[in-house]
Amino acid sequence: MSSDTLRPTRLWQTPTVVWAALMAATITTTWILSKDTFAATVGTVCTLALAGWKVRLVVLDFMELRHAPWPLRIAFEAWSVGVPAMICGFYLAPW
């Protein structure tokens, strides 16, 4: 197995670009969306959606699952969608 298989093939999949995107998303959620200028529901749901996107970036480009067998990739990608969705579900639940 050549390690070429794990080499990023596109610029936006390189660690530095992924890191910059993760930093920008963190700054947005921590110091912008958390402010009272955004309604609590809007801020919280957007923050959780961005958290899911950040997890997906880490899974695919830092943990290098972009080229993993699909069952493993699906399982970890499902976590990145399912966990924030579950938290949103509890948060938005009317009861």
Give the binding site for another protein (CB under 8 A): 1-3, 5-7, 15-16, 18-19, 22-23, 26-27, 29-31, 33-34, 40, 43-44, 47-48, 51, 54-55, 58-59, 61-65, 67-69, 72, 75-76, 79, 82-84, 86-87, 90-91, 93, 95
What are the distances in angstroms from CA 81 to CA 35, 38, 52, 55, 75? 25, 23, 6, 9, 10
Instruction: For residues 62 and 60, give the distance between their C-alpha atoms in angstroms, rounded to a whole number.
Output: 6
Least gap, CB of 10 to another protein (angstroms): 15
Least gap, CB of 87 to another protein (angstroms): 6
Least gap, CB of 32 to another protein (angstroms): 11
Burial 42-63 (b: 16+ CB within 10 A, else e): ebbbebbebbbbbbbbebbbee
Least gap, CB of 22 to another protein (angstroms): 5
Q: Which amino acid is at 52?
A: G
